[in-house]
Structure 1
């Protein structure tokens, strides 16, 4: 017998689990907390996520990153000035709410906390960060061709710089409360796009 059919929205359940993972981290998020947040029982959980908590976490990272990437790429696509849009996305990180500062970047956290413990999580996180890198590289190369930025630096290296900044600023903002200091750090790093 294949089991009972699913009677819950998997994407919504994963979204609720993501909040638990973001608040508690992978290791300290208990099965009971996840099930309560998702609003499902153990039977439904293991029917949908045969790999248990680890599979749920990977799906959580994937769903979160797809949503983030879609929002970012659509924002870039609709922007009058793509480079300025990227700069504003970074600068907005200096003014994130306190809870966001404490939690850091979900993707960055997954890479740092679990990459050595679980190769599937590492592969998923790396794939997502490389996707972000490729998006940055494409925008930078286009801006160079259109003379929107002066730098002749390799777009791939500049894109890695931005990816590194994305990861770094989420760690730094967990230690530094001053929005002005964070803004200054980000502005300094973004000068490579002038």
Structure 2
């Protein structure tokens, strides 16, 4: 017996749960709030997410990461000056007022929370960060080859630096919200992309 068929769109339900996690955080998001946002009952929830709230959170992060990486990769690809686009992307993080979808802070914050849960989840977070790093590395390599970027540092290392910067900004923003301080810090780090 295969069980009851799903009568909801998992991707849409996960996106709705992501909004709850984004606004409340993993620990404070209640099961009731998640079920209400997703528009499903407990039975359907546990049928689709056998690992409960933690599985939903992991799937939320994965889905968000895929969307975020796809969106940033496309935006870079469509840009006339890809290194300048990356710089502006980072500088825009200094002025973000809240957890903006386009800047990926939900992902950055969630990776910090997830990496503390257990070893298997830590591996998932590493894979998600590797996706962002791959986008940066490919862009840097292409910019070096075309002469848009003078630096001949290893593209992989520069990309890890950017990934670390992206991660660090989201952590630092929790303690320091001055756009001027954040912008100065970001500009200093971006000098490697000249």
| TM, length-normalised to structure 2 | 0.91
Evaluate the alpha carbon distance shift between residue 41 and residue 131 of structure 1 in structure 2; reply closer, same or farther with a 3 A threshold.
Answer: same
Unmatched runs of 5 consecutive residues or more in structure 2 = none
Aligned to 1:166: 166
1:20-99 to 2 correspondence within 5 Å? 20-99=20-99
Q: Distance in 2 between matches of 1:98 and 1:10?
A: 27
Q: Distance in 2 between matches of 1:174 and 1:115?
A: 17
Q: Distance in 2 between matches of 1:23 and 1:118?
A: 23
Secondary structure of 1:98's match?
coil
Q: Which moves more between the two structures, 163-172 or 115-124? A: 115-124
Aligned to 2:156: 156
Aligned to 1:111: 111
Segments of 4+ in structure 1 off by > 4 A? none
The number of residues matched between the two structures is 191
Deviation track 1:26-81 (CA, whole Å, cap 9, x = no partner) reads: 22222111111111100111111122112111110111001001100000111101
Secondary structure of 2:28's match?
coil
1:172-183 to 2 correspondence within 5 Å? 172-183=172-183
**2:123 is equivalent to residue 123 of structure 1:** yes
Q: Distance in 1 between matches of 2:84 and 2:99?
A: 26
Unmatched runs of 5 consecutive residues or more in structure 1 = none
Aligned to 1:187: 187
Q: Distance in 1 between matches of 2:81 and 2:135?
A: 15
Secondary structure of 1:70's match?
helix
- Aligned-pair distance for 1:114? 2.9
C-alpha contact (below 8 Å) 1:110/1:121 kept by paired residues: no
Aligned to 1:16: 16
- Aligned-pair distance for 1:99? 4.9
Secondary structure of 2:163's match?
helix
| TM, length-normalised to structure 1 | 0.91
